[in-house]
Structure 1
Amino acid sequence: MTPEELFQLRMEIVPQLHIALGEMSQAKDLLSVLLAADHSSQPSSQSLLQSLSQPTSSQPPLPQQNASDLPSASLTSTSVTKQLPIQSVQTFNIQLAIGSKDKALRHASNLFRSAANVMEKGRVRSEKYWVDALKMRRSNWGLIPAPLPPGSAMGKGADKTSKDFLVSFGLEESRVSERLIAIEAAQDTELRFELVDSDYNPPSDKASEHLQARCDLIYSSLHLLLLPPSTLQPIIDMLQYQGFCDRVQSEMRRIVRALADAGVPTKFYFNAVGESGDELITQLQPQGQLRLSGECLLRIDNRRSLRFTFSSPSTLTANLPQATLAITSIPQLTQLLADEVDNCLLQRICELGTELCEHVHGTWFVDPLSGRTVGRWEGQVL
């Protein structure tokens, strides 16, 4: 044992030794009184008293006490009968005890009643929650259990049940909980419905004004669409169409910026929604069908025009002078724009070459195999 542990042990034992010493001293004094009162004591008792009176090495010697110094009176005892309590006082004490127990029982009963009410409200709320979920499933909304949150216990005996579930609507999935519904309505676009307090004020800034207007439109549309399962279908179609138009516009603006950097004059017109406000409200009615459409016009070098039309949810058509093509992907649109721009620029180069070589009767044309311009005149090929 360490010195600290020995010191702690000493501090615990020494007080107990002092208590034992006091008890032994008191017992010795009592034994002396008894021996002095009994004149017919045996010599062995006197020798025992003398042996107890001998000092030990651990304590100082005690002064010896003669038998003549001790009291000679004998010990006597008296029996005392406890008086019966007063009847009125006894009755009052019983009433007081019964009242205290009744108060404690009532308090415990109130606690159990409050806990039972809370449990009942939770049961009713959970039952309504899952009843609504079953109604959604019967209305062709597919339900699958949601994965557990990250960090959840997965060992044996752990609670692996999930309180949330995923709602499949068409080809989309949304996460539903008691206060939040999140739907991935389109690419990089999430539609969230959250239950908030009545005094909640969302933060507003200039960057979110465009988004706020879009949310206001969705909020107003939900008042017109109150019957599932078609409640969110127009909203999802509208968001998908908006994401589709944003990607198309971004790709076309990239081409316009490249032409502007090269010094080629361009004109760009983009209208995502060609319908009027009345037509849009009519399409958002429960009996209506959402069909949005728009057009885009790109004019290159003030001579060649490319016209595109699109409709919801993601249909794009290129109206070219030589043909009408259906565009099924953004890479296809990118390739088409690049080919048309190259062809336009090559045609412009041919026209300039023909003007410059007119005095030598030169001709310029575009080679479709090599994708470049070719100039030819007598004896020369460029």
Structure 2
Amino acid sequence: MDVKAVRDAFPILHQEVNGHPLVYLDSSATSQKPNQVIDKLSEYYRGYNSNVHRGVHTLGTKATDEYEGAREKVRNFINAQSSQEVIFTRGTTTAINTVAASYGRANLKSGDEIVITPMEHHSNIIPWQQIAKETGATLKYMPLQSDGTISLEDAEATITNQTKIVAVMHVSNVLGTINPVKEIAAIAHRHEAVMLVDGAQSAPHMKIDVQDLDCDFFAFSGHKMCGPTGVGVLYGKKALLKEMEPVEFGGEMIDFVNLYDSTWKELPWKFEGGTPIIAGAIGLGAAIDFLNEVGLDEIEAHEHKLAQYAQQQMKTIDGLTIYGPEQRAGLITFNISDVHPHDLATVLDAEGIAVRAGHHCAQPLMRWLDVSATARASFYLYNTEEDVDRLVQGLQTTKEYFGDVF
């Protein structure tokens, strides 16, 4: 992969922050955007800004073609069987909430089980907490191994005939753990449960084949994969989506409206009430084009190499703890003894290095790790070994600074 050519496509990377060349290591929170996406958004607003599906004029037709064309790009990107299985949402959070509110409300009752893991992002915990309270279902957690992985034996022991929904993140945004979601889905299906995969941290970084995974639902966000903020995708198997009720009601999603009753459009539009996320979807389509041009296999291999190199270099720093398994996705979460992660991130920022610090919307996992917060460096297709070297140098500077203070 020609990383220099990739970097040239991202205008935001070519700047100084606090007098230093920017090193952006926060792509797990949100990725940067290439010119191709920025230009596509500008093209829409400058050239054919219009609502979709309703109008027959030229601008409306162009906008509709681009919007639905983006849906087809998503279908190909995740290898869904039909574009009817691709629903545009505001992001992963909205997608998971849609499944919890629609499928969960209709299919859960007292005595049923929802199975998740302690490593989940809050967006894949809180919706299930709420729907469990509403329906009387029980929320269960698969245990984690000491390195932050899931064993299939524990999955087998946790998922029972009372389990109706299993919801697991594909890649941990804290530990970098790559979970065996295909195998967990098979276990869930043997117990006649449905499987939701939170793909927020996997779709940007590796090839996704929802048919091969055989998951029933798959959720991801555009802004983590070089696309715009405010757009995401819910994939669902057509048979399930057809039986589910919408969770938002209004324009666009209706077929006929009478005084006291209404009927819904067919899939996928019955889940896209109101004016849809037109520019966001079109921008996401451009991001998919960009990622496909670079190559998902090449991106995954590049990030794996960076993560391995970063681990090797960071392990030379005394007092630094890395959390998670040895084999991981392209992120490293860590702490330096006697330095709060927020202080660490502040010193790194002064060196032009952007990392994330805090609980990463994973407070149950922080308690499992027995820490209040961590720092996280996350890598993407535009990062280099030189970025890692800058990070390691910045960490040494942080240690020296706080060593002098204390």
Could you say which TM-score interval applies, normalised by the shorter chain? under 0.3
Query: Looking at CA atoms only, which structure, 1 or 2, has the larger radius of gyration?
Result: 1
TM-score (ref. length: structure 2): 0.18
Structure 1 length normalisation: TM-score?
Answer: 0.19
Higher relative contact order (CA 8 A, sep 6+): 2
